[in-house]
């Protein structure tokens, strides 16, 4: 069943938003979200957009939806060991998922106009949801702990075979994405992909995304094991290096699926 917010709200076609400075910021935030490398090339050095992971402009259930999420901040971030505002979380995505750390001047700031515009868009799709309460759909892209396979027991070769059968029609055998009309998935590995400090570089995190978001036209059709084997294959591949990994997990243990930290 499609919930009301799964039909994406588009600020560019919503007349109720008006034409104020705030409305213009929200509309640009939407454009940043769906086409990050084009709109923020100095902050996104790869070819990954926010919308490549948070599908339907962050408004598709079981695809890392951000509807209502603005209200949960501030919250504690285990990886960084400190409280995060929404803008801090967006900066993290620029640094990691968009690999925006290639040069010092490219590191995003919580006060940068791009970060503020993205925050404005996420706050807009969060309007009407209770502040201080995590939405029911948040955190559902996870595989139950009882079904997790030890990382060392996963087989990247089995994952590669599954990837060829179930994923290559959209992502290509090389993982770099196939044009489908005017859209192309972001690269899953290689120099234009997310870096090794991103959340999707963790095996179980990526497996949860795959399990419930993919394949795009048949989400949920993969088993828990299949999703984990595919994730093991993808995380066996090279990707850009996040230069500040030594500053992560200083106040908590490195998770067992954070394979790029353990190699």
Confidence (pTM): 0.93
pLDDT-derived band at 154 (thresholds 50, 70, 90) equals very high
pLDDT at 96: 96
Tokens 């998922």, located at residue? 97
The tokens describing 114, both together, are: 């791009």
pLDDT at 182: 82
Please give the Cα distance from 125 to 172 (Å, whole number): 32
Any idea what the Cα angle at residue 118 is, between residues 96 and 94, rounded to 5°?
10
Instruction: Please compute, for residue 106, the number of CA atoms within 13 A of its CA located in the half-sphere on the CB side.
Output: 17
For residues 84 and 172, membership in a common domain is answered with no
**Host domain of residue 151:** 145-262
Mean pLDDT score across all residues of the chain: 93
pLDDT at 183: 85
- Residue pair 141/211 in contact (Cβ under 8 Å)? The answer is yes
**130 is a domain residue:** no
- Examine the pLDDT at 1 and tell me if it is beyond 50: no
- Looking at residue 240, which CATH number applies to its domain? 1.10.760.10
For residues 211 and 254, membership in a common domain is answered with yes
For residues 172 and 249, membership in a common domain is answered with yes
**138 is a domain residue:** no
- Examine the pLDDT at 187 and tell me if it is beyond 70: yes
For residues 113 and 185, membership in a common domain is answered with no
- Examine the pLDDT at 66 and tell me if it is beyond 80: yes
Please give the Cα distance from 42 to 108 (Å, whole number): 9
Lowest mean pLDDT among 1-15, 55-69, 74-88, 143-157: 1-15
**131 is a domain residue:** no
Please give the Cα distance from 69 to 83 (Å, whole number): 15
DSSP string for 148-175 = PPPGGG--HHHHHHHHHHHTHHHH-TTS
- Residue pair 108/124 in contact (Cβ under 8 Å)? The answer is no
Instruction: Give the mean model confidence (pLDDT) for residues 190-206.
Output: 98
Contacts of 189 by beta carbon, 8 Å cutoff, 6+ apart: 175, 234, 237, 238, 239
Number of domains in the chain: 2
**139 is a domain residue:** no
**137 is a domain residue:** no
pLDDT at 87: 96
For residues 120 and 151, membership in a common domain is answered with no
């Amino acid at each position: 069943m499609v919930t009301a917010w799964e039909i994406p709200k588009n600020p560019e076609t919503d007349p109720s938003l008006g034409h104020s400075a705030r409305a213009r910021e929200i509309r640009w935030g939407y454009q940043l979200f769906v086409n990050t490398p084009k709109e923020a090339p100095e902050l996104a050095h790869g070819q990954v957009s926010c919308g490549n992971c948070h599908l339907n402009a962050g408004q598709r259930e079981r695809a890392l939806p951000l509807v209502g999420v603005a209200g949960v901040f501030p919250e504690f971030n285990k990886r960084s060991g400190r409280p995060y505002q929404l803008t801090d979380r967006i900066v993290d995505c620029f640094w990691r998922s968009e690999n925006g750390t290639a040069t010092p001047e490219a590191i995003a700031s919580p006060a940068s106009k791009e970060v503020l515009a993205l925050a404005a868009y996420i706050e807009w799709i969060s309007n009407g949801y209770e502040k201080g309460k995590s939405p029911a759909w948040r955190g559902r892209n996870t595989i139950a702990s009882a079904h997790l396979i030890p990382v060392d027991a996963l087989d990247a070769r089995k994952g590669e075979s599954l990837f060829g059968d179930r994923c290559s029609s959209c992502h290509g055998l090389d993982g770099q994405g196939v044009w489908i009309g005017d859209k192309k998935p972001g690269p899953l590995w290689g120099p234009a992909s997310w870096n090794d400090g991103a959340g999707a570089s963790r095996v179980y995190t990526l497996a949860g995304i795959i399990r419930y978001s993919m394949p795009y036209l048949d989400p949920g059709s993969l088993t828990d094991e299949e999703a984990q084997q595919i994730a093991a294959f993808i995380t066996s591949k090279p990707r850009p290096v996040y230069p500040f990994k030594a500053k992560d997990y200083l106040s908590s243990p490195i998770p067992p699926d954070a394979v790029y930290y353990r190699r």
